[in-house]
Amino acid sequence: MTLAVPTALSGPSPILDLAGVTLEVNHLGRAVRFYGQVLGLPLHHLDEQRRVARLGVNAAQSLTLWEPVTRQPNEPWLAPLRARGAGHLHLAFQVRPEDLPRCRTLLGTHGLPWQEIDLGTPDAPDPTLYFFDPFGHGLELRGVNRHDPRQPLCPAPDHPLTPDTHTLPVIGLREAALAFSDYAAMKARLPRAYGFAFAKEQEDRDFAQFTLGPWPEPDGNGTPHRWLYAWDAQVGLADMLGGDHALLEFYADVPAVAARVQAEGLPCVADAGRLAARDPDGHVFVFRPAPGR
Ligand SMILES: [Fe+2]
């Protein structure tokens, strides 16, 4: 029998959407308070002993916080891959464009320095707000067009999980930016070894954009899709850094990703229908079946 060895992506990507992001924090209680009281994310799960908190962003996406504990993995099934939460990750949240004025006010109310950059054009402005959490993760609020027909697997809902006039009205995860020490190797590996859909790269920086969906899409202009950005070790807009040793979770066609990961020979573990692989650049990617499948 001849096994089909996956090559660079030619058909649809097996990666369907962004399911979650895990951040490393040095004080779990302070992190839960920040993400609960400033971003309004409800606490769904807290494990005091393992120093893990999982917060909801919407019904399909979550933000997980890990405080490192000496000689104890935060998540046992990922221990063989030496998974950590991301260090200094750039992470963008989706908001309704009409909520951006309120976001500017709320950032000031919470005493957070912020910066605004227009990523659009004079005809179609795309104002974006950048600020930092207390742990060095670079956060962004970006408008999403909920009426665009090109919706992702898990569209952003109309309202935050817990609408509150005092918290930032985030309705989805939009993007995560990771640092890669070998940009050229990354650009070849991510489509080949996992099936990420390469969309484009910037001309002036080593910055590749992968659409988290079956087909590459144009970025910007309120696109409802989610994104993996991959940089070399550099500072991006608003002093945002790509994350090191990041832990990201994706909805995916898990058997299709597993065939690629195994052909690549990457360290991987499986648990309850999920597959996790350790990327040579130190990131860990978890792939899980799409909701309801
Ligand atoms: Fe960004």
Give tens-digit pLDDT for 27-44.
999 999 999 999 999 999
Q: 134 CA to middle of ligand 1, Å? A: 18
pLDDT at position 1 is 46
Q: Which residue carries 């308070």 as its tokens?
A: 33
Q: 166 CA to middle of ligand 1, Å? A: 24
| Per-residue pLDDT at 5 exceeds 80 | no
Q: 285 CA to middle of ligand 1, Å? A: 20
Q: 80 CA to middle of ligand 1, Å? A: 31
Q: 253 CA to middle of ligand 1, Å? A: 26
List, for residues 231-259, the tens digit of each pLDDT value.
998 888 999 999 999 999 999 999 999 99
Q: What is the pTM of this model?
A: 0.96
| Per-residue pLDDT at 106 exceeds 70 | yes
C-alpha 71: how far from chain center: 27
Q: 51 CA to middle of ligand 1, Å? A: 28
List, for residues 135-159, the tens digit of each pLDDT value.
999 999 999 999 999 999 999 999 9
pLDDT at position 113 is 98
Q: Which residues 6+ apart lie within 8 Å of 77 measured at CB?
A: 269, 271, 276
Q: 76 CA to middle of ligand 1, Å? A: 31
Q: 265 CA to middle of ligand 1, Å? A: 31
Both structure tokens of 122: 């004079």
Q: 256 CA to middle of ligand 1, Å? A: 29
Structural domains in the chain plus CATH codes: 15-288 (3.10.180.10)
Q: 37 CA to middle of ligand 1, Å? A: 22
Q: 249 CA to middle of ligand 1, Å? A: 18
Q: 70 CA to middle of ligand 1, Å? A: 32
C-alpha 128: how far from chain center: 17
Both structure tokens of 51: 């120093």
Minimal CA–CA distance to 228: which of 253, 208, 256, 214?
Answer: 208
Q: 175 CA to middle of ligand 1, Å? A: 7
Q: 292 CA to middle of ligand 1, Å? A: 30
pLDDT at position 2 is 47
Q: 174 CA to middle of ligand 1, Å? A: 9
Q: 228 CA to middle of ligand 1, Å? A: 10
Q: 129 CA to middle of ligand 1, Å? A: 9
pLDDT at position 189 is 98
Q: What percentage of the chain carries pLDDT values higher than 70?
A: 97
Q: 259 CA to middle of ligand 1, Å? A: 31
Direct distance between the N- and C-terminal alpha carbons of the chain, in angstroms, rounded to an integer: 30
**204, 215 in Cβ contact below 8 A?**
no
| Per-residue pLDDT at 6 exceeds 90 | no
Minimal CA–CA distance to 43: which of 65, 68, 21?
Answer: 65
